[in-house]
Amino acid sequence: MVSDRIPPHGGSADPSDRQQPTLEHAIAELEAAADAVDPERFDAALRLVGGLLGPAGERESAAVGPRLAAVLPYAPPFERAHLAMMVGACVERGADPVACAGQVLSGLRGALSGALLLIERWKETGGGDLPDPDADSPGQAHARIADPDDPDAWPAHQAVIGWWTLHLWQMASFAVYTHAAVRTSAWSSGVTEVLAELIERYGEEQHDLKGLLYLMRTLDDEPLLVLDRPTGTGYLVRMDGLTDNFQLHTLLADLLIGGGHLPGVRPDPEVVALSRTEEVDGRRVTALGAFNLVAPDGSWIWNEGTPSDIPVVDGVRTLVLDPQPYERSWAAGRFIQQVPGGLRLERVLPPAEAAERLARAAAAHPFEEAFG
C-alpha cells in the first residue's frame, strides 16, 4: 500500500516540536511554497507534510487528498513524485479518487515518457546496463544522455526524472486505479489507452508494471455475451471488477454450471469466494478449468490475459465456450487483490438468437495453431 511508504524522502518532521504544527498548517505552507516557486521551501514543507500525514487519521487524510493533488503541477520534479505518493496514501484512506486521479495519471504519463526517452538515449550513447535508480547517480546519467550541443535541454532532464521516479508514480497510480470511477473515467477519456501503450513500450526494463496494466484494463459494468458451442445456448452476463481471465473462467463456471444452465462440475465455493472478494492470505487453493475460452474468430482467449482481450462484436464483447482440449488448474484468487470482482446473469438468449450468433462464430483454432 502507498500509505505504508510515507513519510517521503530524506526523513520526516517531528510533530512534537515546540510549535506543534498541524497538518492543515503544513499543507498551507506547501501551497505557499508552490505559489512562491521556492524549491527549498517546498522541500521543507513536503517533509513536514510527510511527517504529519503518516500518523494522521483516515478522516483527516481523506480531506486533504484533493488539496495535495492540486499542488502536483506546481511541485519541483523530483518532489512531485513523492507528493504523488502522499496523494495515493490519502486515496487509500478515503480521499475522493476522481478528484485526485487527474494529476496523478498525468504525472505517470510524464514519467513513462521520460523513462522511454532515457532508454532510447542510453542505447544511442553506447548501450549497456541501464542505470539503477537505487544505486547510480542521476547526474551522471544526465551527463551521458544530454545533447552535447545543448546540455541543459529539457529532454535529458525529463528522461532522468522519469527514470528515477517512475516507481513512485506507479504506486500512486495503482492507488487511484483501484477505484471503478477512476477506471471508467480514464477508459472513456482515452487516458488508459495512452498509458497502456506507453507501459507496453516500456516492458519490464526496470519496474514490473504488469499489475498496474491489468488494473487499468479492468472492466466495470461491462456486458459480455457468452455462447456455449456444445449446448448451442447463449447468455448475456455483466462483469464488474474482473482483472484477469482466470477469475472470469471461475465465475463463469459458477454462474452457468452452478446455476444449472450448463453441464459440468460447479467450482468449489472457496474458489469462487477467492475470485470475488476473499483474500488469499497465503493459502493455495486450486481452481479447475471447465471449458476453453475462444473468440468468435476462433482464436483462443488465454486465461493469463484480461477480459479486455475479448473482442467486441456487434457492440458487445463476445466469448465462445468450447470443451477443454486438456485439463487445466491454477491457484485460485484475483490477480489484483484490492479489487472485488462480480459476474451476474442478465438474460438467457432465446434458442434462435443463440443459434444465429453461434452460426457466425468460427471453429476454434487447433491446439497446435493456438501455440504456433
Which residue from 96, 304, 108, 301 is spatially nearest to 216, judged by alpha carbons? 108
- Give the per-residue pLDDT at 10: 44
- Same domain (yes/no): 194, 304: no
218 DSSP 8-state letter = -
- Give the per-residue pLDDT at 143: 93
Would you state the cell numbers that stand for residue 84, as one nine-digit string?
504523488
- Give the per-residue pLDDT at 12: 46
Residue 342 backbone class (left: φ over 0; alpha: ψ -120 to 50; beta: rest)? beta
Strands, E, within 133-232: which ranges? 222-228
- Same domain (yes/no): 116, 49: yes
339 DSSP 8-state letter = S
- Cα–Cα distance for residue pair 268/247, rounded to 1 Å: 13
- Cα–Cα distance for residue pair 281/159, rounded to 1 Å: 39
Which residue from 90, 240, 288 is spatially nearest to 175, judged by alpha carbons? 90
- Same domain (yes/no): 177, 259: no
- Cα–Cα distance for residue pair 230/233, rounded to 1 Å: 8
- Give the per-residue pLDDT at 4: 62
Domain end marker among 163, 182, 216: 216
Specify which residues 226 forms β-bridges with.
Answer: 235, 319
- Same domain (yes/no): 106, 143: yes
Give residue 150's domain range: 2-216
- Cα–Cα distance for residue pair 323/171, rounded to 1 Å: 40
Residues 6+ apart with CB under 8 A from 129: none
- Same domain (yes/no): 268, 191: no
- How wide is the angle at C-alpha 28 spanned by C-alphas 22 and 32, nearest 5°? 145
- Give the per-residue pLDDT at 232: 97
- Give the per-residue pLDDT at 362: 86
- Same domain (yes/no): 291, 228: yes
- Same domain (yes/no): 206, 299: no
Domain end marker among 191, 216, 241: 216
Decide: 217 and 305 in contact? Cβ < 8 Å.
Answer: no
- Give the per-residue pLDDT at 258: 97
Q: What share of the chain is helix, strand, coil (3-state, %, to 5)?
A: 50, 10, 35
Which residue from 59, 47, 115 is spatially nearest to 86, judged by alpha carbons? 47
pTM: 0.88
pLDDT per residue as tens digits for the range 321-372: 999 999 999 999 999 999 999 999 999 999 999 999 999 988 877 654 554 4
The domain total for the chain is: 2
- Give the per-residue pLDDT at 208: 86
- Cα–Cα distance for residue pair 201/324, rounded to 1 Å: 33
Which residue from 200, 252, 212, 180 is spatially nearest to 335, judged by alpha carbons? 212
Domain end marker among 154, 185, 216: 216
- Same domain (yes/no): 187, 239: no
219 DSSP 8-state letter = B
- Same domain (yes/no): 227, 142: no
- Give the per-residue pLDDT at 5: 62
- Same domain (yes/no): 108, 82: yes
308 DSSP 8-state letter = G
- Same domain (yes/no): 121, 158: yes
Biggest alpha carbon distance in the chain? 79
- Give the per-residue pLDDT at 103: 97
pLDDT per residue as tens digits for the range 127-153: 999 999 999 999 999 999 998 888 778
- Cα–Cα distance for residue pair 257/251, rounded to 1 Å: 10
Q: State which residues of the chain have pLDDT below 50.
A: 8-17, 368, 371-372
- Same domain (yes/no): 209, 288: no
Which residue from 6, 20, 370 is spatially nearest to 171, judged by alpha carbons? 6
